Chains A and B, each alone.
Chain A
Amino acid sequence: MPGRLKVRIIAGRHLPVMDRASELTDAFVEVKFGSLTYKTEVFPKSLNPTWNSEWFKFEVDDEHLQDEPLQIRVLDHDTYSAHDAIGKIYIDIDPLLDDESSHVLCGWFPVYDTMHGIRGEILLTVKLELFADANQFKQSSCGFKFICGVTVPECYRIKYIHGFVHEFLVNEDPEYKWIDKLRTPRATNEARQRLFSKMTGELQRRIGRKVENMGGNAVLGYQQQFDIEEDSGIVVRGIGTAVTIETRKKSRKKSTIRSASSSPDKLTKEFPFYTMKSFPPRFLSRLSIAVNAHSVKLLEKIHTGNSEDVETRDSWWNELRQEIKGHCHALACNAVIGYTEHASICDDVVILSAQGTAATVNPLFCPVSQADKDENCDDHFLQVNFSGSKRNSTFSESTVQSLDEDKENSLLLFEVPKELTELVCPMKCQPSPLNPNILVPDMLFTTVHLPNDVQYIGKGTVVQARFCRSKKKGQGEPNAALVSEFLPFIEYELHKRLYNKVKIRGMNALFGLESKITLGENIVVGVATGTAVCLAALPKLCQQSASESKEPSTSSLEARYTSFTRQCVEVFQLKQTTEAECDPTSNAHPHLSPSPRSPLSLSMDDKRSLVIGIDEFSPHDDDDEFHDLLLNDSLPPPHCYISNMDICPGLNESLTLTQMFSLLWRVRYDDDANDKTLNEGLTRCCEQAMKTLWFRLRRNNPVCFIAKARFLLVLADDDELQIWITGAALIPDTKAPKDSNKKISFRNSAPVRAKSGLLQEPDLAKEDDVESNDEGAMLSLGLDARKFSASFISRPLSPLYRKLKRTNTVGSRNRYDSTSSGASKTAARNRHFSEGGSSISDIDHRDLNEASEPVEITPMSYMCDRATVRHIGVLNMFIIRETTAVRGSDEEIPSAEPAHGTGCSWFVSRSLTETNALIRAHVVALGGNALTSYKSSHCVLKESLAKNEAQCLIHVSGDVVLID
């Protein structure tokens, strides 16, 4: 359906001074969509202009609506020379195409300049009118939901899971075109941002088409990656899982589901891959092990429009997927779940990796039949929901009906089929402690989240293995060959370390495993991270480990192991078996399926695949360093836990998000250090970075938890290593149980400062009275125990929008500062003190007084103590920030640079802060109040001290949602 896009530019504020003489700015705005550009009038001599422009109309077909971003450019009018650019705003129209959306977007957007960062804000409104059109040859795919989350938001229910969708686009990278040598960095950056934005739109449109063909209406677990291949160009890849979802409450689309497609032929589909990490009940029947595949390729230059480039890359990824599929079949599984793809590029060599977990899924899974039954318990569900102990309860639709059966099923989840025990891999299987008739692996590694109904003991914790190898600098074929020779060793080492680290912690399973191999010019680094838990269904290792370690090791070493394991058992409460077994979440549904032990499948470019199993417990190894490595791991601070999944396993109290954080830590290393030094350094750095992180978080809240911790290693230069850590900091929720649905807005509450005790209740949050609100559209309910009160961000769309409508006629009366030159002096001086005449600042004041809530950003797929009411759309932003004055710019803050630093901390700090600000502005303008499943995936800091330049690239994505 084609549509009409209407844009209105209302006002600006806090614009920078563009004319030094008058200390003012003559701003006007350009609105561009596709090839059509409109301009507002110039609003002279003001830093807080009010344009109140007409509606700029664009008639566009929906293909363009999906591909093109709306571009807003703010400029300073200059009579004699070229107008100076102030900054730009890119708006992705996609979320407005959704049927459920109001097709309106309204709010303040930060004006962003790649060289100066945020420079003021612009208030604008975008409206979209769509016309119905049934063109069967259309290329577009409007209205398909893209969800970054690896589990379905609780406001929806999965009706059918169709399968894997993937697509990618290639292009030349403007940064590496010859013309880049001629133009300014700003022009290049803008060309790049425009291109990336457009590619994002096009990619989604194409994936949408595929989903449509498969009969789905949404993509779940959508992952978009930018591969910047430098001279070779740029590749944007997207993978996801096509699903059919329906809103909970009113299942209006009922029964239109194609039952035909649920026939077993599903199994024959090309790639039975699923990118989600949590699944509906009864979908999984057996959970096997993590599988992965790598390949090393040489890059060649991409030429736009050359289909060969596309085909090559397509074949590369397909090979890899085939290989994964092969592993999966070898393990007697019919699907790969928790599937991810990753590329690491250095010069002309690229390492492609794919990772997932082999599993058996129920091909006839069709929760639709269940839907009716569940209808009753839905209401019940919604009430119990988020009472704290229940998390991924999205799937807890099943009733108590089949409790026993479910328990059995959850055990079967881990069963190793008979035929597999004598297969390829030397798997060590043992009877399950819960049922001696069932064989289970002694240790399990998976990439998915811990299924809801699985019983486990104690708490979980993040376990991380790291390994690096130096390599000679090189180019072309020989270099690629060298790298591919290294890969198996790195994989082996990572696995060995992980295995032993899990084991000496007295645990027996690893969930959410994410292993990444990063290629640098003279080094290859592998980091594998997962959350270890002690599953009740698998044999317990803690007791064994102690005895096992007896014979070979010296007594001191043995003592160290024993004491470490003891410490872990205590810290992670692995002893209290019986209590912990009755996991409160055991709402019991059959889920994932059992699996064999964790061998590791590695594979090479040339398809030789090998599977290695490591059974030996480390004491057999007489490598002292190795022992130190294992034993010197620091455990989280007292009462604090960390996980790389949405939940910290074992934390049953209800939690509140304090905030999302990012940490960048960069160290330099010696170009020609040997492997041993490098490895020690790597370990030390990661440990130190973690320590710093805990220290920061615990400054305010001594007891806190980290969820969804993500580690990103970047090798940006040949002697530096960047560690990016993101995650969500949580604290125990101190609020009283949420008994009623009272609408309370909390203001002026003091920040939580629980200085002691685990569950001490800091007196926070004085409940203000119910905010009576005749407009009824305010979202002030249930901000429980938010230590944050009022922030200034204008509240979601509707009220502001309405106010604007009410007041926009008043706008012209505040042109006081533009009229006479005599008055303009005064205006100049008071430029930041906008006088009462302005309709816009009236609105600001009102908003301020109403104490709007903060916009939350979380890497988790839901907000811990609040329910997701609506999923508005996906946000994908590639942000470029650059400076040509690392040292000695106006923005620099010399007092805050470390004595040993290079002076660019301020730059990183600003880039990250501004990225968050851009996200928040988009969220609010779209009518949301939070971003879930936040992920920053392409973070690089490049610095050239000689040139006094620095560049920071950040690709962020997430789901814009409305939470209650």
Chain B
Amino acid sequence: MESLPDVDVFVGNIVSIDFAAYELWLEQAEAEEARDYLMKLDKDEHKEKEGREFLFYSYVLDQFRIFGMLEPMLHYPTMLANQMTYQISMDSQKLVISKYYALDEVVVREFLGKKLNKSTRRDLDEICAKTQKKLKYCQRQFDNCRRIFKAVEDMSGSLVKNIQKHFQLPLSLSWDYAAVVFLANHRFDCSKRKLSCLGFRDFVECSKFLIESWTHSQTDCTDLPQEIDPEFLHDLRSVKILVSEQKLFDKHKNTTVNKARELLHLSELKGSDELAGTQWCEASFRPLSRGIVGIASCLYKSKEIRDYFIDIFEKVVEPCRTCGWDKERVNMFLQCYAAAAKQLPQIEQLSLTWDKYIKTTTKCILQIYKK
């Protein structure tokens, strides 16, 4: 008689999930790898070396089978909650879902802002070569994103809440997906070489700022939660005068420098001498202001929106960096710059729009500003 069974199945009334095995499965580990890993973990089982391999192997296969059967339902997590085929405790359900949808930041970073379509999926092998992950693993990450993208695409109401509700995800994870969806929807260009120093988190944070302030997503009653407020973008064109009219430009510059000086006094952060303290501000004002205003006035073109990150990087972050500013200083400059503009009568009527733009952009710049 054969010593190994060719069918070896264990089924219980209640599905119990071994999360160690589940994580291995999610990583697309082979059953043999998983067996070896679990065996190493499990030390307390003394002696009986022989046969142990088999026990673990058959255990892993059983667990893998459960996961394989559950997988189609994990694509519609609400279904998992009211289906009747598998009896799983509420806690396990939650954990199973959130682990399934856990984002691999390195992998997802690679396709951020790209169209979530078949051709991107086909190119995943490059990503998997680059990240040293298994292709199937990358595909699952991609498919998760695409599935959520498709599901919430046409839904009205808050983007984050929709994701949270329909995929039963914890809030923070829902935000991550909201960012992925948002970036993909507007096709933000995140893959320029210059941006490669930015991680997944940077983009999530930036998207969060953008979603919160530039879209209507936070209000529950909106039909197009992902759309960037067109009125806002339209109004934003008028800020061009900040650079186009020389008088205004000079006034803006002076006010900014004064404000910076006041701040320096207050904070008693006088460098070696006071003059040097404002020198930096005066010197960089022109290119920075041109950059900031330039970005703002063009945002109404959808092409320009895509380049938002690369623009702020090239026109603001890089010049600041070449001047050797630290984050504090960038922040101070932007604060003064924003406040000074608001004091100009020409901008006053636009102050809401200006605020909306400059505050969010400031946050984004600071997020991606690294030494």
Which A residues are within 8 Å of any B CB, using their own CB?
Answer: 13-14, 108, 110, 118, 121, 658-670, 673, 677-678, 680-682, 684-685, 688-689, 691-693, 695-696, 699-700, 721-722, 729, 747-751, 755, 787-793, 826, 829-830, 832-834, 844, 847-848, 851, 854-857, 893, 895-898, 900-902, 904-906, 908-910, 912-914, 916-917, 920-921, 941
Contact = CB atoms under 8 A, between A and B. Distances in A.
B3 interface: yes
Contacts of A856: 13
B87 A118 contact: no
Nearest to A685: B1
Contacts of B69: 893, 906, 909-910, 913
A457 B330 CA distance: 83
B87 A912 contact: no
A748 B25 CA distance: 25
Contacts of B14: 658-659, 788, 854
Contacts, number: 212
A682 B1 CA distance: 7
Contacts of B13: 659-661, 855-857, 916, 920
A667 B91 contact: no
Contact of B5 (A665, A678, A695, A789): A665
Given A896-B65, A906-B68, A666 B5 contact: yes
A106 to B, nearest CB: 15
Given A699-B59, A793-B84, A895 B154 contact: no
17 contacts: A14-B79, A660-B13, A663-B11, A692-B58, A791-B88, A791-B89, A847-B82, A848-B81, A855-B13, A893-B68, A898-B8, A898-B58, A898-B61, A902-B7, A909-B69, A913-B11, A913-B86
Q: Rank and list the top 4 A-B pairs by shortest CB-CB distance, nearest first.
A: A681-B1, A893-B68, A896-B64, A666-B7
Contacts of B30: 895
A678 B31 CA distance: 31
A118 B75 CA distance: 17
Q: Which of B1, B65, B154 has the most CB atoms of chain A within a 10 A radius of its CB?
A: B1
A682 B4 CA distance: 12
Contacts of B8: 664-666, 692, 898, 901, 905
Interface string B72-107: 000110110111111111111100000000000000
A79 B1 CA distance: 55
Contact of A830 (B7, B87, B151): B151
Contact of A832 (B7, B78, B85): B78
B276 interface: no
A688 B55 CA distance: 9
Given A662-B11, A665-B7, A829 B150 contact: yes
Q: Which of A677, A832, A904 has the most CB atoms of chain B within a 10 A radius of its CB?
A: A832
A844 B82 CA distance: 7
Contacts of A669: 1-2
Contacts of A832: 75-76, 78-79
Nearest to B154: A826
Interface in B117-170: 150-151, 153-155, 166
Nearest to B68: A893
Given A699-B59, A790-B89, A906-B68, A692 B6 contact: no
B21 to A, nearest CB: 10
Given A661-B12, A665-B8, A667-B1, A833 B78 contact: yes
B18 interface: yes
A118 B61 CA distance: 22
Contacts of B78: 832-834
Contacts of B155: 830, 833
Contacts of B283: none
A794 to B, nearest CB: 8
A905 B1 contact: no
A851 B79 CA distance: 16
A108 B88 CA distance: 17
Contacts of B62: 696, 896, 909
Given A666-B6, A677-B1, A906-B68, 4 more contacts: A14-B79, A670-B1, A787-B89, A792-B83
Interface residues of B, number: 56
A667 B4 CA distance: 7
A844 B304 CA distance: 45
A721 B1 CA distance: 9
Contacts of A895: 25, 30-31, 64, 68
A668 B11 contact: no
B220 to A, nearest CB: 12
A478 B153 CA distance: 73
B156 to A, nearest CB: 10
Contacts of B83: 14, 121, 792
Contacts of B11: 661-663, 909, 912-913, 916
B275 interface: no
A829 B153 CA distance: 10
Interface in B182-231: none
B323 interface: no
B87 A900 contact: no
A681 B154 CA distance: 61
A751 B1 contact: no
B57 interface: yes
A692 to B, nearest CB: 6
B51 interface: yes
A917 B65 contact: no
Contacts of B18: 699
Contact of B65 (A685, A693, A848, A905): A905
A165 B67 CA distance: 46
A917 B84 contact: yes
A684 B64 contact: no
Contacts of A659: 12-14, 16
Q: Which of A118, A663, A895, A902 has the most CB atoms of chain B within a 10 A radius of its CB?
A: A895
A116 B4 CA distance: 29
A481 B12 CA distance: 42
B35 to A, nearest CB: 11
A921 B2 CA distance: 39
Contacts of A793: 84, 87
Contacts of A721: 1
Contacts of B89: 751, 787-791, 854
Contacts of B51: 688, 691
Contacts of B61: 896-898, 905
Given A666-B6, A905-B8, A917 B86 contact: yes
A666 to B, nearest CB: 4
Given A692-B10, A896-B61, A673 B82 contact: no
B85 A908 contact: no
B7 A905 contact: yes
Interface string B3-46: 11111111111101010000001000011000000000000100
A789 B87 CA distance: 11
Nearest to A721: B1
Contacts of A722: 7
A105 to B, nearest CB: 16
Contacts of B5: 665-667, 685, 688-689
Given A829-B154, A832-B76, A696 B10 contact: yes
A793 B81 CA distance: 9
A898 B88 contact: no
Contact of B9 (A110, A667, A908): A908
A567 to B, nearest CB: 16
A878 to B, nearest CB: 18
A942 to B, nearest CB: 12
B33 to A, nearest CB: 11
Contacts of B1: 667-670, 673, 677-678, 680-682, 684-685, 721
B90 A688 contact: no
B7 A851 contact: no
B269 to A, nearest CB: 51
Nearest to B4: A900
Contacts of B44: 755
A663 B8 CA distance: 7
